[in-house]
Amino acid sequence: EARLLAQPVSYELASTTQHEGIEDRTTMAPLGARRLAEMVSLGARVTAIELTIAAQALDLRGLPALGAGTARAYELVRERVPFTDAGETVPADLEPLVELVRSGLLLA
């Protein structure tokens, strides 16, 4: 999906040549901005999935000594998504983690 969104927006527009042969200049900024917003949203969702997988991997392997930033990220993830034990279903709702990614708390 992200690969399709990365295509140039000029592919989306038909010719702007009018029937009298006059070319009209159009801006593609609104379509480009909308596509960028969709890609940022997809990126936040992918990051949320990766954070869930990373936290689960740390729990399954045993927590090594984490750096300060990594430990804080782990804590923030686990506040929103609990450990998934064997036989349990991974939470389907990623929104708490997507909001965490968008909030910028992981960068602080």
pLDDT at 67: 93
The pLDDT of residue 17: 59
In this prediction, residues 40-62 reach a mean pLDDT of 93
Residue 62: predicted pLDDT: 85
Domain residue spans of the chain: 2-107
The average pLDDT across 7-14 equals 67
| CA neighbor of 54 nearest in space, from 63, 42, 67 | 63
- The pLDDT of residue 75: 96
Cα–Cα distance for residue pair 33/43, rounded to 1 Å: 15
The rounded distance, in Å, linking the Cα atoms of 20 and 99 is 51
Q: How far apart are CA 39 and CA 33, in angstroms?
A: 10
Decide: 9 and 33 in contact? Cβ < 8 Å: no
pTM recorded for the entire structure: 0.75
- Give the residue from 71, 88, 87 showing the smallest Cα distance to 79: 71
Say yes or no to pLDDT of 97 above 70: yes
